[in-house]
C-alpha cells in the first residue's frame, strides 16, 4: 500500500477525527463500555489455539483486553492517546498486557505475515483511506489467518437518523457494503458474511437498533 507523507500528516495533524476521539475518550467512564463486543466474543471462541492478534482502531480496549484474558498475544493501535490511556488502565485492571501503539497504520512498524488474527470491530477509517488500510491490514496476516469484522453498513444512516444514540458515522463514505468489503479483502475465503439488524447496548454511544455487517474470513 502506498500512502504518502502528505496523507499521513493530514490525518494525524489536521484530523477532525483525532480531535473527536480524543475528546470522547477523555470523558469519564468508558464510551462503549468495558465488555467485549458480542459478535467478537463468540467469533474468537471459535478459533482453535491462540497466537498474535491485531486490533485496529481499538479505542479504549474492551475487545483487545478480552482477547488478552484468553491468552492471545495482543497488539492494538488507534489515533487517540486518550484511548490508549483508557485501554492500558483496563488491561491493568484485568492483569493483562497489550502492545498498544498510537498513530497512523503506515507508521507503526508492523510486518507482513506477522499476525494470526485481525479484529476490525467498528474500525471506521476515513473514506479516503479505508480501502487502502484494509489491503495493508490484510498483508499483515499470515496465510490461514482470520479476520473478525463488525461495523455499520451503509443502510445504518436511516437508523442513525431515527436514533442518533445508536452511534456510527453520519457520512455514507465511512460506512460499508458487503460488495465493498469483498473487493477490499480479495484473497480471503469468507466463512460467513451478512448484514444484520442488531440491538446494540455498548456503553453510552452504541444504544439501540442499527444495521451492521459481520464477517469472518480466512486468508488463503
- Select from 67, 107, 116, 115 the least CA-distant residue to 87: 67
pLDDT, one tens digit per residue, over 155-180 is: 999 999 999 999 999 999 999 999 99
140-to-43, 68, 70 alpha-carbon distances in Å = 20, 19, 22
Residue corresponding to grid cell 483525532: 18
- Given 3.30.360.10, 3.30.390.10, 3.40.1160.10, 3.40.50.150, which CATH number is that of 5-219? 3.40.50.150
Q: Please tell me the distance from the alpha carbon of residue 169 to that of residue 154, in angstroms, as a whole number.
A: 10
Domain residue spans of the chain: 5-219
Q: Enter the C-alpha cell of residue 140.
A: 499483515
- Residues of the chain under the 70 pLDDT cut: 1-14, 17
Q: Please tell me the distance from the alpha carbon of residue 44 to that of residue 58, in angstroms, as a whole number.
A: 16
- Select from 127, 134, 124, 109 the least CA-distant residue to 219: 134
Largest CA distance in the chain: 43
pTM check: above 0.85:
yes
Q: Enter the C-alpha cell of residue 24.
A: 470522547
Q: Where are the alpha helices (DSSP H) in 106-201?
A: 130-140, 156-162, 178-184
Amino acid at each position: 500500500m502506498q500512502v504518502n507523507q502528505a496523507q499521513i500528516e493530514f490525518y494525524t495533524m489536521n484530523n477532525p477525527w483525532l480531535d473527536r476521539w480524543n475528546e470522547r475518550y477523555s470523558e469519564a467512564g468508558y464510551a462503549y463500555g468495558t465488555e467485549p463486543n458480542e459478535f467478537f466474543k463468540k467469533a474468537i471462541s471459535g478459533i482453535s489455539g491462540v497466537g498474535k492478534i491485531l486490533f485496529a482502531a481499538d479505542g479504549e480496549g474492551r475487545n483487545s483486553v478480552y482477547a488478552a484474558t484468553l491468552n492471545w498475544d495482543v497488539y492494538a493501535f488507534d489515533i487517540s492517546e486518550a484511548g490508549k490511556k483508557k485501554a492500558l488502565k483496563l488491561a491493568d485492571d484485568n492483569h493483562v498486557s497489550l502492545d498498544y501503539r498510537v498513530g497512523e497504520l503506515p507508521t507503526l512498524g508492523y510486518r507482513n505475515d506477522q499476525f494470526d488474527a485481525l479484529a476490525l470491530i467498528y474500525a471506521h477509517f476515513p473514506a479516503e483511506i479505508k480501502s487502502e488500510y484494509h489491503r495493508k491490514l490484510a498483508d499483515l496476516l499470515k496465510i490461514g489467518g482470520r479476520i473478525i469484522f463488525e461495523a455499520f453498513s451503509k443502510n445504518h444512516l436511516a437508523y442513525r437518523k431515527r436514533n442518533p444514540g445508536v452511534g456510527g458515522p453520519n457520512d455514507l463514505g465511512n460506512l460499508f457494503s458487503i460488495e465493498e468489503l469483498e473487493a477490499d479483502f480479495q484473497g480471503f475465503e469468507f466463512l460467513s458474511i451478512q448484514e444484520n439488524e442488531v440491538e446494540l447496548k455498548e456503553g453510552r454511544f452504541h444504544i439501540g437498533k442499527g444495521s451492521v455487517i459481520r464477517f469472518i474470513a480466512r486468508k488463503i
